[in-house]
Structure 1
Amino acid sequence: MWLEAPVLSSRDPLIRVTAMPADTNPYGGVFGGWLMSQMALGAGALASRVGQGKAVVVSATDFAFPGAMAVGDELSVYCEVAATGTTSLTIVAEGIARERNGEATIRVCSGTFKFVLLDEDNRPRPVGEEALRAHGQ
């Protein structure tokens, strides 16, 4: 059932992509692993932007798949920084599907990703205050 879905943020989505036949599970629905990977890509883009450099995912938790999407539906991934540590960013991600031939939307996935910022030698580096302020965090 398609319903209006609340979006995590009023910002533009970090990822917008159309589900294709190769993205389905054996039952013909969009594979949860594909949804997880799209959320990780969006969260990683935000982590790199806010952290102003290399950011690697160190954990992924709290996945939920409250809705289903079909081949041809468009997925938009929204992300926000939920917390910061000395060298880490915790980012929540939410996926909203829009039906192929209309405007109806539904929340299909959500999850939390933790990233550590790395320097040129791949060692953890601090999250800069100026980076957080520049991105409204």
Structure 2
Amino acid sequence: MNLDGMEPILRVMPRPADINANGHIFGGWVLSQMDIAGGIVAARRAQGPVATVAIDAMEFIAPILLHDLISVYARVEKVGRTSMKIRIEVIATRDRGKTDVKVTEALFTFVAIDEQARPRPVDQA
């Protein structure tokens, strides 16, 4: 796992209600956690509200299990005129902290928005 330049944005433990019929955590649940973490990083960079507009190359690498501690890492990968690409990786910590497993990753695109929810420029500095 290479998390260079990435910081843990969220840490959360799934609940029994988040389990699917296979005994794993719903993909939609982890996608939601990733969107929250990515939105935090994007809003910081944009210095204001953002909206998710795309998710590129979402890959589920390993299942998330009940009692895993999920750490969601994110970093700005690219900044355009109004948009930002945020790289997000999720690590599951298991066995009371003895094992870390990369469970998913994706590249999210967020757009900075104004008060009317229209795209606005992102400061390039």
- Same fold per TM (> 0.5)? yes
Aligned CA distance change for structure 1 residues 16 and 69 (closer, same or farther; 3 Å):
same
Aligned CA distance change for structure 1 residues 38 and 7 (closer, same or farther; 3 Å):
farther
- Out of 19, 37, 41, the residue aligned to residue 42 of structure 1 is 37
Identity %: 38
- Deviation at residue 86 of structure 1 after TM alignment: 0.6
- Deviation at residue 129 of structure 1 after TM alignment: 2.5
- Deviation at residue 51 of structure 1 after TM alignment: 0.5
Matched, 1:24 2:50: no
Comparing 87-96 with 119-128, greater Cα deviation is found at 119-128
Could you say which structure has the higher strand fraction? 2
Alpha-carbon contact 1:78-1:95 (below 8 Å) kept: yes
Q: Aligned Cα RMSD in Å?
A: 1.4
Partners of 2:81 and 2:14 in 1: how far apart? 37
Alpha-carbon contact 1:9-1:78 (below 8 Å) kept: no
Alpha-carbon contact 2:6-2:75 (below 8 Å) kept: no
Partners of 2:100 and 2:21 in 1: how far apart? 24
- Deviation at residue 10 of structure 1 after TM alignment: 5.1
What letter matches 1:35 in structure 2?
V
Matched, 1:108 2:109: no
Partners of 1:11 and 1:61 in 2: how far apart? 18
- Deviation at residue 85 of structure 1 after TM alignment: 1.1
**Unaligned stretches of 5+ in structure 1?**
1-5, 131-137
- Out of 73, 97, 112, the residue aligned to residue 78 of structure 1 is 73
Aligned partner of 1:123 in structure 2 is: 118
Partners of 2:44 and 2:95 in 1: how far apart? 30
